[in-house]
Amino acid sequence: MLYTFLFAALAARFDQCGPRTPRLLGLDEAFAGMDLTNIGVLYRIMEALNLSWIATSQHRIDLSADLSGAATYQLLRVSTPQGDSLGTLASIWDGAQAHDGQQSALA
């Protein structure tokens, strides 16, 4: 519930700054402990307010049909016989399903 007021206040401030102002939010663990229904409500609110966001989470953020599109970039721990390293996974959400893209391993 509190996010609704916060997002509305930020959108109003962005409106005051003019149409060329990026409407970008940074969210850290914003959806932790929330169920998919409430996450979907927040997606709809952010889209209605024309907000874009970057979110961090230790788990993949659940995407739903309430979100018209998103790009997700994950850093993954990869265990190999030579030891642990980092890997990445990029995917695109089209409003209905995720399309996993390029995977890579980092040294």
Residue 17's domain spans which residues? 1-67
Total structural domains in the chain? 2
- For 78-106, the pLDDT digits (tens) are 888 888 888 888 888 888 888 887 655 55
Nearest Cα neighbor of 89 from 80, 100, 78, 99 is 100
For residue 7, the SS3 value is helix
Question: Do 56 and 75 fall into the same domain?
Answer: no
Question: Do 55 and 79 fall into the same domain?
Answer: no
Strand ranges in the chain using DSSP code E only, listed in sequence order: 24-28, 52-56, 70-80, 83-93, 98-106
Note whether 89 and 103 are within 8 A (CB): yes
Question: Do 29 and 49 fall into the same domain?
Answer: yes
Separation of alpha carbons 16 and 11, rounded Å = 9
> Which has more confidence, 13 or 77?
13
Question: Do 92 and 50 fall into the same domain?
Answer: no
- For 3-57, the pLDDT digits (tens) are 889 999 999 999 999 999 999 999 888 888 888 888 888 889 999 999 998 888 7
